[in-house]
C-alpha cells in the first residue's frame, strides 16, 4: 500500500463506516501508514484506524470491515457516534 494514506483511501474507509451507520466523526485516521496496521477503540470512544503499510489496499480494507464489525458488536461499540438520520 505504501506509507502515505491518500484521501481516496480514507474515503474507502468512510464507505465502510457508512455500512455500519457510523459517523465520520467516530474515527481517527493518521495520514501515515504503519506496520502492522490496526483498528482499535481509543479512550475518547472513537475508532483509530491505522493503515497497514505492507498489505494491498483491498486486503487491508477487508480487515478494517471485519474489525469494525467486531467492535460495533461489542459493548464498546455502543459508545461510537452514529450517523444522524
Burial of 54 (0-12, 13-18, 19+ CB in 10 A): middle
- The predicted pLDDT at position 29 comes to 98
Place of cell 504503519: 34
Place of cell 485516521: 29
- Confidence at 3, pLDDT banded by 50, 70, 90: confident
The C-alpha cell 467516530 sits at 26
Q: Could you give the angle at the alpha carbon of 1 between the alpha carbons of 63 and 62, nearest 5°?
A: 15
* pLDDT value, residue 21: 95
Q: What does the pLDDT look like over 31-73, one tens digit per residue?
A: 999 999 999 999 999 999 999 999 999 999 999 999 999 999 9
Amino acid at each position: 500500500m505504501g506509507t502515505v494514506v491518500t484521501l481516496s483511501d480514507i474515503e474507502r474507509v468512510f464507505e465502510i463506516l457508512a455500512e455500519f451507520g457510523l459517523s465520520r466523526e467516530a474515527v481517527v485516521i493518521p495520514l501515515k501508514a504503519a506496520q502492522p496496521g490496526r483498528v482499535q477503540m481509543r479512550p475518547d470512544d472513537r475508532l483509530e484506524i491505522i493503515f497497514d503499510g505492507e498489505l494491498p489496499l483491498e486486503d487491508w480494507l477487508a480487515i478494517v470491515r471485519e474489525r469494525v464489525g467486531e467492535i460495533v458488536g461489542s459493548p464498546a461499540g455502543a459508545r461510537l457516534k452514529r450517523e444522524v438520520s
